[in-house]
Amino acid sequence: MAIYNYTALKNNKEIVKGKIDAANPREARDNIRKLGFIPTKVEEEQAKGAVDPKELGKKTKKGKMHKLGLQDRIDFTSTLQILAQSGIPIIESLLFIENDAAKLKIRQVAQELRRQIMNGGTFADTIAKYPDQFGQIYIGLCKAGEDSGELEKTLERLLELLNKEAAIKGKVIGTLMYPMFVIVLAILIVLVMLMFVFPVFKDMFDTMGKQLPWITQTLMDIGIFLKTYWYFVPVILGSMFGTVTFLFRWQPSKRKIDEYSLKIPVLTDLIQFSNFSNFIAVMQVAYDAGVPIIECLYLSNLTLTNYTLKTRIESATTKVQQGQHLSSALRSTRVMPKMILFMIATGEQSGRLGDMLTQATNYIDKQLDKIIDVMTKMIEPIMLIVIGSIVLVLALALYLPLFGSYMSM
């Protein structure tokens, strides 16, 4: 028999600590549950001179964990939240997910988490070992929920947060889907015209014996080159795609793109509201979970994808650390919508910051829907102009020599 130190929840609210005799961690947890408590942390008490398990753990490799996508985290959190709400302990909840989850990688994640928790860890401490899989926001909120004894409510808030993130991504991707399809279609049409149509007209234009217009000659040369060296086509397209991807990922160029994108009228609103939608939502969830305001800002700042916005919010966080009010610090950044600043200031003055953050989240969601509707309506005429311009250039290149020939007759 060994002595185990434990931390547990009494009536799902009060945190209690104590010691219990058991043969192994599983038996210790069973005995704790028989006392009417829900165990959250169980550690074997070490004899004098024994090796600290934390030091031993540093020499032990972490279990391999599969990468979880956004939808995977939603599925995992949804099941865990439902089971926790039903009063089922975390070990049994993870065992259920391990046996019955639809996706193999979710089952494997649950298995690894359960294994480590049974060895004496807590849920928050265990997932903290895998920031690449769960993310700092997920880990930070679970830690706050576990420390306050409200992990069940925190999981519910996390689920809402993840669903919100998925909804925003879906809206933005849906908005960009149409122009991307049109661009790909336009590229294919241009390639077909250059490689198969223009070379057919070459012999006819040569018989005219006249110099071709520069636009016709240029497109004709390009078409003949692409038809002769057709294997360059995927290389060129791949190079263009790779260059664009590199520019958006390389930090110096990404910073410039992020800076200048905030100067484009409608695009600025989309970038600001989509970034601050997640920012305010995380702040609201963290604040309701009892996380200090500095930590709330830190967690919220992790959601920002625009470098310029991220840098300015970091400067605001520093000012809050120095004692400045949250609303004043955020106002000094000059990037947050005025309505949001007003709501935060009102919440600070009235002592109802959590409620006002909730109102701010709803306001941003409505504004984001309006911006996406405007952009969707704008994209259609813009795409028509782009397609029309391409067709006009191709038609002029084909028909200008014919018009010149008719005029000289």
Q: Does one domain contain both 120 and 157? A: no
Instruction: With respect to residue 297, please indicate whether it lies within any of the assigned structural domains.
Output: yes
Q: Does one domain contain both 156 and 288? A: yes
CATH code for position 352: 1.20.81.30
Angle at 274 between CA 272 and CA 278, to 5 degrees: 110
Q: Does one domain contain both 174 and 296? A: yes
Q: Are 375 and 174 in contact (CB under 8 A)?
A: no
Cα distance between residue 409 and residue 29, in whole Å: 100
Kindly list the distances between the CA atom of residue 159 and the CA atoms of 144, 154, 164, 234, 361, in Å, as whole numbers in the listed order. 15, 8, 8, 42, 15
Rg value, the chain, Cα: 30
Instruction: With respect to residue 224, please indicate whether it lies within any of the assigned structural domains.
Output: yes
**CA proximity to 258, closest of 273, 244, 248, 270:** 248
In sequence order, what DSSP letters do the residues of 264-319 get, joined into one string?
Answer: SHHHHHHHHHHHHHHHHHHHHHHHHTT--HHHHHHHHHTT---HHHHHHHHHHHHH
Strands 14-22 and 37-44: unpaired
Q: Does one domain contain both 294 and 176? A: yes
The alpha carbon dihedral of 303, 283, 296, 126 has a sign of negative
The alpha carbon dihedral of 127, 131, 134, 136 has a sign of positive
Q: Does one domain contain both 222 and 78? A: no
Q: Does one domain contain both 219 and 100? A: no
Instruction: With respect to residue 301, please indicate whether it lies within any of the assigned structural domains.
Output: yes
Sequential pLDDT tens for the chain (409 residues)? 677 787 776 765 566 777 787 877 777 777 877 887 777 677 777 544 443 444 333 333 445 566 788 889 999 989 988 888 888 888 888 888 888 888 888 888 888 888 888 887 788 888 888 888 888 888 888 888 777 777 888 888 888 888 888 888 888 788 778 888 888 888 888 888 888 888 887 777 777 767 788 888 888 888 888 888 888 888 888 998 899 899 888 989 999 999 998 888 878 888 888 888 888 888 888 888 788 888 888 888 888 889 999 999 999 989 998 888 999 999 998 888 899 999 999 999 998 988 999 899 889 888 888 888 888 888 888 888 888 888 888 888 888 877 766 666 5
Q: Which two tokens stand for residue 385?
A: 């102009």
Instruction: With respect to residue 154, please indicate whether it lies within any of the assigned structural domains.
Output: yes
Q: Are 101 and 110 in contact (CB under 8 A)?
A: yes
In sequence order, what DSSP letters do the residues of 99-132 get, joined into one string?
Answer: HH-SSHHHHHHHHHHHHHHHTT--HHHHHTT-HH
Q: Does one domain contain both 97 and 42? A: no
Q: Does one domain contain both 221 and 83? A: no
Q: Does one domain contain both 91 and 165? A: no
Tell me how many domains the chain contains. Answer: 3
Q: Which domain holds residue 93?
A: 70-134
Instruction: With respect to residue 308, please indicate whether it lies within any of the assigned structural domains.
Output: yes
Instruction: With respect to residue 58, please indicate whether it lies within any of the assigned structural domains.
Output: no
Q: Does one domain contain both 271 and 383? A: yes
Choose one of 110, 134, 158: the last residue of a domain.
134
Instruction: With respect to residue 330, please indicate whether it lies within any of the assigned structural domains.
Output: yes
**CA proximity to 93, closest of 105, 103, 106, 104:** 106
Instruction: With respect to residue 64, please indicate whether it lies within any of the assigned structural domains.
Output: no
Q: Does one domain contain both 162 and 279? A: yes
Q: Does one domain contain both 30 and 116? A: no
